[in-house]
Amino acid sequence: MKSIQFNAHHSPVGAFASLTLGFPGAKGGLGHELKGPADEPFYVGLEEIDREGYYQALPFFEASDDKSADYDVEGHNAEFSYPNRISHFSWESITRQFAACTDEWSAGDLKFRVITPYPTVPDPGLGDAEALKNAVCPGVLLEVEVDNSSSQRARKVFLGYAGSDRYDGVRVIGQDGLIGVGQGVATAIATKEPGFKAGVAWQPEMVVNSRQPDNEPFLIGSTGILWTTVPAGEKRTFRFAVGFFREGTATTGIKTRYYYRRFFNSIEEVLNHTLSRADQLIAEAKIQDASFANGLTEDRAFMHAHAVRSYYGATELLEREDGTPLWVVNEGEYRMMNTLDLTIDQLFFELKMNPWTVRNELDLFVERYAYEDTIQFPGDDTKHPGGLSFSHDMGVSNNFSSPGNSSYEQGGLKGCFSYMTAEQLLNWSICSSVYGLKTADHSWIKGKQETLKACLASMLNRDNPNPAERNGVISLDSSRCFGGAEITTYDSLDVSLGQARNNLYLAVKGWAAYKLIAKVFADLGLTQESQTANAQAKKAEATILAAVEPDGTMPAIIGEGVPARLIPAIEGLVYLDYIGFDLSESKPLVEALKTHLETVLKKGVCKFEDGGWKLSSTSDNSWLSKIYLCQAIAEKILGFAPDHEADKAHVAWLLDPANAYFAWSDQMLAGKACGSRYYPRGVTSTLWLD
């Protein structure tokens, strides 16, 4: 039996919001723009069948404290406190049905469902306002089902949460046909079901067991509760909406507001709209639950559902002051915006769900986050012409960084927080080529041909300033490093994946980039550029093949004598396969990568003792998003059988009690989420379905 004690996102699309639930205690709740769960108590409870005034609730809260002591310092007023009457359903008594869009808990006579379909977000430029409004409505649907058919008496049922915002208190919503509770104008839960009442107090008992039901809400409390009574002998299903709302400036640097502000002027409108579409939302969720799991094993269906949820909780559709849309994926606990080395991993999922968002991201990289540099050999201050690249990200925590700069990259370093100039150049080149080739958006790619030419020139320069000495692989570092060294997306890994120069992972990725832009150039009739790119691809192929050692593996850093061996050597294959390249043209390299992977994919080299994949033989640091990606490549391109033992290990990592609080996490140090927690990048798992 796998644990069901894990947090998962339950999010609208593009609202950077999440009802996070599932981990024991006050460890979830209604989070807005947060780096982790909101750590709020969340209540769904039902009166016990045989004890009036006693309740059992899902265990997403801690036992209540008595907060009256701050007001009643001499303790004369014990009369104000209520005895705790709400116990947790035991975890043993709870079952959980977890899919990508529906998460259902059952315990005793209570069922609780959170329903979050992920509608396609229409390209705002195409103007289908109604579809866009529905897609980005920042609401989430809940259902509570009470089976009181075997009871001889009416029982109370309640739902609510305690807000954790430090500015705005919790209020009662009683307008626009709604009854609800909310924190300021930012978060709320409401219903239109007849018979519900709303209360605010320090503890749910003050509302559901109120000694004076005619009391007005005690707004000093921070716990908002909705409740009603289910008659004896009856079954009832109640619907609720969770709403999120941010009114004003959403981001600085580039001033924006949330795109949904075009359609909604208040959280009450959001709540009403969500409830009005309940039937469609449930139907959509059902269809998507099936399609997101289609053909997957139980372990993979679980991981994919979990990853999709964490991705959507990080999405944010903004509107710039000129009315244009701006799509952001926030980087989980780090909250960096549109980190380009995540964009390339999320590419496959975004192209499936909302292809225009890829274009939107790539356009903004060109518009604002491109830069030109000079480059230098290690240990040599001579500056050679470099060329175009792109910043690591576009900012962090709602602040867009200045043009040409990320929030992350700093000069003077050789490790974490150094520049990723070469890798981001490859990432933009690959993403734009894949987008253009996959979507056949000819006018867009044609509009980018000068940028792609500049990318090619920049890649050539970074290989070697002297054309005669080029080998297809990155050999120089950006002068932005001030004598430091460029790193890769595996920023906190040891040199095996941390160093960009001569890195095998980047070499294969660079080879793929050359081949992709060669094809784009060919399609654009730019024969000479296409030939140049293809020639570089051949050089890269030769360099990589020359690095094969007698045991059939290739070292992590080409030509530097490192012992490390890498799984991500194979990453580059995926982009070519994805757009339908005939890989038989590159059979020697593909075969060499296959042999490499076969050789390293064993315990003690690139597998942990539990069978989980270990990206580098010399580090315990592993990224699940990249494992999923490499699994798909191994199976779909290199002909490996699915590694069920590894899947089981990866599921166990995510469900480890030390990790399960963070929903889906990426970076695992020997199976413990140590960074990149609460993270959007896991949707590389979408490749399992193709």
498 binds a copy of itself per the rule CB under 8 A: yes
> Which one of the spans 313-321, 382-390, 462-470, 492-500 is the region binding a copy of itself (CB under 8 A)?
492-500
What residues from 200 to 259 belong to the interface with a copy of itself (CB under 8 A)?
211-212, 214-220, 247-249, 252-253
Nearer to a copy of itself, 494 or 610 (CB): 494
Nearer to a copy of itself, 42 or 245 (CB): 245
The DSSP symbol for 148 reads -
Nearer to a copy of itself, 592 or 606 (CB): 606
Q: How far is the CB of 614 from a copy of itself (least distance, A)?
A: 13
Q: How far is the CB of 606 from a copy of itself (least distance, A)?
A: 17
For residues 649-661, one letter each, b for 16 or more C-beta atoms within 10 angstroms of the residue's C-beta and e for the rest, the string is bbbbbbbbeebbb
Nearer to a copy of itself, 389 or 492 (CB): 492
What residues from 26 to 45 belong to the interface with a copy of itself (CB under 8 A)?
32-35
Nearer to a copy of itself, 543 or 618 (CB): 618
619 binds a copy of itself per the rule CB under 8 A: yes
Task: Locate all alpha helices (DSSP H) within 418-565, ordered by sequence.
Answer: 421-439, 442-447, 449-463, 495-498, 504-523, 527-546
Nearer to a copy of itself, 167 or 550 (CB): 167
Q: How far is the CB of 539 from a copy of itself (least distance, A)?
A: 31
Q: How far is the CB of 555 from a copy of itself (least distance, A)?
A: 19
Q: Which amino acid is at 127?
A: G
**Cα gap 644→279, rounded to integer Å:** 37
Are 38 and 164 in contact, with CB atoms under 8 Å apart?
yes
Q: How far is the CB of 498 from a copy of itself (least distance, A)?
A: 7
Are 1 and 655 in contact, with CB atoms under 8 Å apart?
no
**Cα gap 260→316, rounded to integer Å:** 10
Q: How far is the CB of 303 from a copy of itself (least distance, A)?
A: 21
656 binds a copy of itself per the rule CB under 8 A: no
Three-class SS of 370-420: EEEEEEECCCCCCCEEEEEEECCCCEECCEECCCCCCCCCCCCCCCCCCCC
Which of 412, 447, 467, 588 lies at the binding interface for a copy of itself (CB under 8 A)? 412
Q: Which amino acid is at 250?
A: A
**Cα gap 260→215, rounded to integer Å:** 37
Which of 411, 552, 611, 642 lies at the binding interface for a copy of itself (CB under 8 A)? 411
Nearer to a copy of itself, 243 or 510 (CB): 243
138 binds a copy of itself per the rule CB under 8 A: no
Which of 63, 129, 440, 669 lies at the binding interface for a copy of itself (CB under 8 A)? 669
Q: Which amino acid is at 38?
A: A
Binding mask 560-599 for a copy of itself (x = CB under 8 A): ----------------------------------------
What residues from 503 to 562 belong to the interface with a copy of itself (CB under 8 A)?
none
336 binds a copy of itself per the rule CB under 8 A: yes
Nearer to a copy of itself, 73 or 126 (CB): 73
72 binds a copy of itself per the rule CB under 8 A: yes
Nearer to a copy of itself, 237 or 265 (CB): 265
Binding mask 277-316 for a copy of itself (x = CB under 8 A): ----------------------------------------
**Cα gap 656→671, rounded to integer Å:** 8
Binding mask 371-410 for a copy of itself (x = CB under 8 A): ------------------------xxxxx-xx--x-xxxx
675 binds a copy of itself per the rule CB under 8 A: yes
Residue 314's SS3 state is coil
Q: How far is the CB of 356 from a copy of itself (least distance, A)?
A: 27
**Cα gap 257→250, rounded to integer Å:** 5
DSSP for 526-559, please give it.
Answer: -HHHHHHHHHHHHHHHHHHHHT--TTS---SBTT
**Cα gap 570→599, rounded to integer Å:** 13
Partnered with residue 506 across adjacent β-strands are none
Three-class SS of 213-276: CCCCCCCCCCEEEEEEEECCCCEEEEEEEEEECCCCCCEECCCEEEHHHHCCCCHHHHHHHHHH
Residues 6+ apart with CB under 8 A from 360: 325, 326, 327
Q: How far is the CB of 683 from a copy of itself (least distance, A)?
A: 22
> Which one of the spans 40-48, 65-73, 528-536, 573-581 is the region binding a copy of itself (CB under 8 A)?
65-73
Nearer to a copy of itself, 106 or 407 (CB): 407
Residues 6+ apart with CB under 8 A from 165: 183, 184, 186, 187
166 binds a copy of itself per the rule CB under 8 A: yes
Per-residue CA distances from 297 to 447, 640, 688 (Å): 42, 16, 10
Which of 2, 414, 446, 648 lies at the binding interface for a copy of itself (CB under 8 A)? 414
Q: Which of 53, 34, 56 is nearest to 45 (CA)?
A: 56
Q: How far is the CB of 490 from a copy of itself (least distance, A)?
A: 11
Count the residues of the shown chain that bind a copy of itself, applying the rule CB under 8 A.
73
**Cα gap 263→572, rounded to integer Å:** 41
What residues from 444 to 483 belong to the interface with a copy of itself (CB under 8 A)?
482
Q: How far is the CB of 678 from a copy of itself (least distance, A)?
A: 12
Which of 91, 377, 417, 640 lies at the binding interface for a copy of itself (CB under 8 A)? 417
Which of 4, 282, 366, 413 lies at the binding interface for a copy of itself (CB under 8 A)? 413
For residues 445-469, one letter each, b for 16 or more C-beta atoms within 10 angstroms of the residue's C-beta and e for the rest, the string is beebbebbbbbbbbbbbbbbbeeee
The H or E element that residue 104 is part of is strand 102-107
169 binds a copy of itself per the rule CB under 8 A: yes
What residues from 78 to 97 belong to the interface with a copy of itself (CB under 8 A)?
79-80
> Which one of the spans 64-72, 302-310, 357-365, 599-607 is the region binding a copy of itself (CB under 8 A)?
64-72
**Cα gap 461→475, rounded to integer Å:** 9
421 binds a copy of itself per the rule CB under 8 A: no
